[in-house]
Amino acid sequence: MASAGCMPAILLCRRPEASFSAALRERFRVLDFLASGEPLPAFLAAAAAAPEPPRAAVVTGSSSVRVDAWFLDAAPSIRCVISTGAGVDHIDLAECARRGVAVGNSGDVYSTDVADYAVGLLLDVLRQVSAAGRYVRRRSWPVQGDYPLGSHFRSGAPPQLGGKRVGIIGLGNIGSRVAKRLEAFGCVIHYNSRKPKDSVPYKYFPNVHDLAAESDVLIVACALNKETRHIVNMNVLEALGKSGVIINIGRGSNIDEAELVVALKEGKIAGAGLDVFEHEPKVPAELFSMDNVVLSRHIAVFTEESRSDVHAHTIGNLEAFFSGQPLLSPVHADSLVK
Amino acid sequence: MAMDSLSVLLLYPVNAYLEQELDRRFSLLRLWEHSPPDSLFRAHGSAIRAVVGYPGHKVDAALLDALPSLEIFSSFSVGIDHVDLSECRERGIRVTNTPDVLTDDVADLAVGLAIAALRKIRQADRYVCAGLWKAKGDYTLTTRFSGKRVGIIGLGRIGLTVATRVEAFDCPVNYYQRTKKEYPNYTYYPSVVELAANSDVLVVACPLNEQTRHIVNREVIDALGPKGVLINIGRGPHVDEPELVSALVEGRLGGAGLDVFEDEPNVPEALFTLDNVVLVPHVGSGTHETRQAMADLVLGNLEAHVLKKPLLTPVV
């Protein structure tokens, strides 16, 4: 551990918990953007002008601070950007690569919780846990009798999960964990990603439309970039079909949200579980009254365990950078999967 | 003897396909079409040779007295705690249930309830649907499901199926049952209290009988503790419900996911406002494939009985 006098400086562009803040300050000289109260340009100018300007920056996962050409020009001392999230769509990876700025993310830290949440959403949509819970809580059970199972499923009751074909878009850290979990329920795993993965026993589909056509459930688990924006559109949803269910734990813009709403309204698919949306925190109000849709406010990563894990991991990334080691979880400009 | 001469009484319209097929294959009477029910027993009681029932409708000496010609009772369920088996045995009445076909569904629901309880999925849905999500970064921390110690009371068909599912989440599996068996990956505890003390999620998956009534009592609930979660996919009477409610209300128990209750369809209203409790109205076997398979077992058992062949899934 470096002594106070020669602790490297870092930019902190997110609101930290007290314990994280303390842990950072034990190791680094922290230039805290939010605490400074200054607008970003003034803050970065002051940091750049300091005698030992910061060489690393910590930003949030879905940050209001975009790390783009402007930011890198304003903070030329920055040689490393660590995101505390899995997604890096707020970081211009190509620009960073051009300038030789290393980028790191949360690596695998959130993958388990997001995979768990995807399975939880799927079970909720299929077995109507939330909807049936509302039936109980509005006192309908003694009055109206047994819960009317899955009237929105073509067969009149929800389908069994076992034997169902699950198509995973993006078989990275999260997608592969989802696959492992759903295999234990007897699901057959199919996937799409940029390239097929040799070591994996699942059937590969080179495009998402064909994946959807041979899947009963579609799970969006990929990063957001130019290629994956609206990768799920009406065409894909129609291929998924009237009994199909879609789960999104990627980014809202992976799905054409307007077309998803239409598909749900018109019964083109049987249900959806969504943790992310195109224009958070705005959620299409038409979804609120749909019993076959489970909504959530981008919280798949937020557990106590992942919170403490990401603090340790971020510090690990920073210490690796400052000691000249490769980052624990580097992100490359051509990455697609989380 | 012709199938359609078998007079069958259906106690409850539990499943449309079942009712339709009973009507098509046999001579069907529907209890709910007669008001009062006694009028049906007076008019047809002595002709009825088969009854198809459902949990919550007791098959006891009183019912059996009203049906002197009853030969077989076929339950649309795997649990048969609503049936007085010794009375049926004494009177030579066969009893069948629907094991195995609903195992996966019940196990799936157990995991769904556990994740929903720990990750508070319903609350997130309610929050968004009420239009309360006004700012990004608005969240509360919940607790990870993966890696939690899962304690299973009863490692039968359903318990084992729960075990294999949670193993995929790297959950260590503990269990209690009357007899210890050799499960290299699962840790046996000789009492439910010790099981609860060493588990984060406790799943009730045993049959209901005299020994297992209130098997989850105050002592067990206290051992499970303020961070523990109880999942009941067995029967309501497995759990001392008033104790459970006060433990949840007072925060002595961390949470619960409940598919069954002591007095269905009545659910203690004190649970309705608790964020850490997931409630569903006995939907454990509620998928299309399973309900159909259960119905086919009921129908198959009745047909085997008529044809004097071995019953498919006899209990008595």
| Binding-face residues of B in 124-163 toward A, CB within 8 A | 124-129, 131, 133-147
Split at pLDDT 50, 70, 90, the class of A149 is: confident
Q: Please give the mean pLDDT across all residues of chain B.
A: 95
Distance of CA A132 to the CA centre of its chain: 28
B185 touches chain A (CB under 8 A): no
**Among the partner residues B145, B267, B281, nearest to A147 by beta-carbon distance:** B281
**Among the partner residues A120, A124, A149, nearest to B286 by beta-carbon distance:** A149
Give the pLDDT confidence of A162-194 residue by residue, as tens digits. Answer: 999 999 999 999 999 999 999 999 999 999 999
Average pLDDT over residues B110-129: 97
Cβ within 8 Å, pair A156-B105 = no
Average pLDDT over residues A211-223: 96
Locate the chain A residue with the closest alpha carbon to B274.
Answer: A137
Interface test with A, best of B18, B283, B285, B294 (most A CBs within 10 A): B283
Cβ within 8 Å, pair A297-B138 = yes
A123 touches chain B (CB under 8 A): yes
Split at pLDDT 50, 70, 90, the class of A2 is: very low
Surface-to-core class of residue B38, CB atoms within 10 Å of its CB (0-12 exposed, 13-18 middle, 19+ buried): exposed
A183 touches chain B (CB under 8 A): yes
| Angstrom distance (rounded) from CA A161 to CA A158 | 9
Distance of CA A73 to the CA centre of its chain: 28
Q: How many Å lie between the alpha carbon of A304 and the closest alpha carbon of chain B?
A: 6
Dig out the tokens for B228 from the structure: 């523990």
| Angstrom distance (rounded) from CA A104 to CA A315 | 11
The 10 Å CB-count burial string (b at 16+, else e) for A197-207 is: eeeeebeebee
Q: Check if the beta carbon of residue A195 is closer than 8 Å to that of residue A142.
A: no
Q: How many Å lie between the alpha carbon of A147 and the closest alpha carbon of chain B?
A: 7
Instruction: Decide if pLDDT at A267 tops 90.
Output: yes
Cβ within 8 Å, pair B280-A113 = no
Question: What is the percent of chain B where pLDDT is above 90?
Answer: 91
Locate the chain A residue with the closest alpha carbon to B293.
Answer: A160
**Among the partner residues B112, B283, B287, nearest to A147 by beta-carbon distance:** B283
Angle between helix axes A111-127 and A173-183 (nearest 10 degrees) is 50
- Distances B82 to A82, A305, B65, B76, B127 between C-alpha atoms, Å: 60, 43, 16, 12, 39
Q: How many Å lie between the alpha carbon of B156 and the closest alpha carbon of chain A?
A: 17
Dig out the tokens for B186 from the structure: 């699962």
Give the pLDDT confidence of A65-99 residue by residue, as tens digits. Answer: 899 999 999 999 999 999 998 778 789 999 999 99
Taking the alpha carbons at both ends of chain B, their separation in whole angstroms is: 23
Q: How many Å lie between the alpha carbon of A295 and the closest alpha carbon of chain B?
A: 5
Interface A-B: count of C-beta contacts within 8 A:
190
Give the pLDDT confidence of B76-102 residue by residue, as tens digits. Answer: 999 899 999 999 999 999 999 999 999
User: Does pTM surpass 0.95?
Assistant: no
B121 touches chain A (CB under 8 A): yes
Surface-to-core class of residue A161, CB atoms within 10 Å of its CB (0-12 exposed, 13-18 middle, 19+ buried): buried
Catalytic-role residue among B238, B282, B291, B305: B282
Any catalytic annotation for residue B264? Answer: yes
pLDDT at A90: 87
Which residue's structure tokens are 């705690």? B81
Instruction: Decide if pLDDT at A64 tops 90.
Output: no
Split at pLDDT 50, 70, 90, the class of A336 is: very low
Q: How many Å lie between the alpha carbon of B170 and the closest alpha carbon of chain A?
A: 9
Surface-to-core class of residue A321, CB atoms within 10 Å of its CB (0-12 exposed, 13-18 middle, 19+ buried): buried
